[in-house]
């Protein structure tokens, strides 16, 4: 999911948004963090990068960590 899931998720979201006349952000535009001013933002981060790395991958990693915490190695063998 972490490696191949982004494109499938994005296709599904775009399809859903088109079906319901929801505006889709330009994923090539620059992402501006709302908690700081643009001039203080050092790196050029696109909207796609923000959604893929800062939201999607972080969520997948947290879910994986939660599953690893719930199931010990011994339980996984069973």
Residue 43: per-residue pLDDT = 67
Q: Which residue numbers in the chain have pLDDT < 70? A: 34-43, 76, 78
Residue 31: per-residue pLDDT = 83
Q: Are 48 and 27 in contact (CB under 8 A)?
A: yes
* pTM of this structure: 0.62
What pLDDT digit, counting tens, does each position of 41-63 carry? Answer: 556 788 888 888 888 889 989 99
Query: What string of DSSP letters covers 4-57?
Result: THHHHHHHHHHHHHHHTT-----TTSBP--TTS-GGG--S--BHHHIIIIIIII
What does pLDDT average to over the chain?
Answer: 82
């Amino acid at each position: 999911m972490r490696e191949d899931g982004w494109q499938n998720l994005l296709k599904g979201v775009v399809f859903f948004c088109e079906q319901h006349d929801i505006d889709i952000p330009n994923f090539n535009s620059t992402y501006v963090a709302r908690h700081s001013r643009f001039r203080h933002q050092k790196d050029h981060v696109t909207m796609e990068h923000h959604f893929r790395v800062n939201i999607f991958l972080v969520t997948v990693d947290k879910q994986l960590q939660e599953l690893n915490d719930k199931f010990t190695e011994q339980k996984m063998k069973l």
